[in-house]
Structure 1
Amino acid sequence: MSPERFARINKMLDNRQPDLTLCLDKVHKTNNIAAVIRTADAVGVHQIHAVWPDIEMRVSGNTASGSQQWVKTIKHYHMDDAQQAFRAQNMQVLATTFSETAVDFREIDYTRPTAIILGNERDGVSQEGIAAAGQHIIIPMIGMVQSLNVSVASALVMYEAQRQRTAAGMYGTRKLDEAYCQKMLFEQGHPIYAKACRRKSIPYPAVDMEGQIVASDEWWERMRAPEVESA
């Protein structure tokens, strides 16, 4: 890969925030899902969660502008499963909903490990999502509308989290494990070889400090060997 692409991927990895995530609660419109993922990538969110109990969902690559390659979507069939994932990371769980205990989203400390639940276009956050949250948040509005599009609401909250985390110096230090970083560097820096590895069931090699492949002669021999066509 080029030095410029290698540097850009490494910068992205250095800025990822694995302890900051979103949970889309039965959000079905693919254009909204893709827009959320695009913003998540922009602010350094490593992965998002989605509760999709009834239908198979797929994010459009055109709408997400390729950001789905960088931000993984973890699918759950039930909110309980998502909640367990957040508890495993000791996250504070927030839900965007109107309630007597809801506070302005800017009053939250987003430097803590945080998961933010956002609801779908018609119903908002489900009762399960509301119950899963330890704190409810609202985005104050002084016009006639009562709610914002989920992609807009998520962007406001995520950029507030980024603002706080930038001020706290939480960007620029790599927090992801080396195995994941090596995988991303190889797949995104050497996509043709990565596809060949998957096709031929060959393990990924290491990538060195200059972005070049580090592999044994045996690995290269397997890579160059012609593929056997199945009958």
Structure 2
Amino acid sequence: MTPERYEKILRVLRRRQPTLTVLMDEVNKPHNFSAILRTCDAVGVLTAHAVPPKSGALPTFDATSGSAHKWVAVQTHSDALTAVRTLQAEGMQVLATHLSQRSVDYREADYTRPTCILLGAEKWGVSDEAADAADANIVIPMFGMVQSLNVSVAAATILFEAQRQRLRAGMYGTPQLAPHDLHRLAFEWAYPDLAAGYRERGEPYPALDEAGQIVR
């Protein structure tokens, strides 16, 4: 671990946004799943959520992620409706990308609030039940012959609007993670293999000095 590498890890973690996330409802194409995670990393999402496709497994990560799967944890849920209600109970507003009578332009939403963006697979979209349970439905205005975007493109469009609003509100200037969470993640990112061993033994992580070296 070099001091420069450790400083980058800390810089990224200090800008992570634990109150911004996505819920992928049966997104089944690996390149889309991976591209969404890559955008999540770019805007500071700490943990993404996913309902696995009916095959029962999350799409295989591929080169599209740019290794983002190392930096964005994925929490799985049995179904979208349960996931929506769980996230709402945790204080998140859930915004479903879904065309309905109550849909609004995605830019009208307030992304400085704790927010989860619900995304569906391209072929099926978000389920009606999950969309109805969401706090709001959002759409990206389209003026061409095609009436929808690739799901990973839609995710990027919305997430960067969330980033824009949060930057304007100064939310990237102050660490959103509690100090103990920041230390935990810094160790896991810097020393993933060692961290696994400590977790297996049920031992606390050791302290790191300013250069990212383990304090003996």
* TM-score, length of structure 2 as denominator length: 0.91
Shift of 1:128: 2.2
SS of residue matched to 2:156 = helix
Q: In the alignment, what sits opposite 1:43?
A: 43
Q: Are residues 1:156 and 2:151 paired?
A: no
1:211 corresponds in structure 2 to 212
| Larger Rg over CA atoms | 1
**Separation of aligned partners in 2, 1:160 and 1:64:** 20
The one-letter amino acid of 2:121's match is N
Aligned-residue offset at 1:181: 2.2
Measured in 2, the distance between the counterparts of 1:213 and 1:143 equals 56
For residues 94-131 of structure 1, the C-alpha deviation after alignment (integer angstroms, 9 at most, x for no partner) is 11111121111011111111111111110111122212
Identical columns (%): 48
Compute the TM-score of the two structures, normalised by the length of structure 1: 0.85
Give the superposition deviation at 1:179.
3.4
| Partner Cα separation in structure 1 for residue 14 and residue 145 of structure 2 | 42
Runs of 5+ in structure 2 lacking a partner?
Answer: none
CA RMSD of aligned residues (A): 2.0
Corresponding residue of 2:134? 133
Q: Give the drift of 1:90.
A: 1.3
Q: Identify the residue that residue 15 of structure 1 maps to in structure 2.
A: 15
Q: Residue in 1 aligned with 2:143? A: 142
| Counterpart check, 1:178 vs 2:187 | no
The 5-angstrom pairing of residues 70-89 of structure 1 reads 70-89=71-90
Of residues 190-199 and 31-40 in structure 1, the stretch that sits farther from structure 2 once superposed is 190-199
Task: Name which of structure 1's ranges 120-129 and 171-180 shifts more when overlaid on structure 2.
Answer: 171-180
Matches of 2:100 and 2:110 in 1, distance apart? 19
Instruction: Give the Å deviation of 1:62.
Output: 2.7
The structure-2 alpha-carbon separation of the partners of 1:86 and 1:147, relative to structure 1 and needing over 3 Å to count, comes to: same
Report the Cα distance in structure 2 between the residues aligned to 1:134 and 1:200, rounded to whole angstroms.
42
> Is contact 1:53-1:78 (8 Å) kept?
no
Long gaps (5+) in structure 1 = 216-231
CA–CA separation in structure 2 for the residues paired with 1:52 and 1:120: 11
Specify whether residues 135 and 201 from structure 1 end up closer, same or farther in structure 2 by C-alpha distance, changes over 3 A only: closer
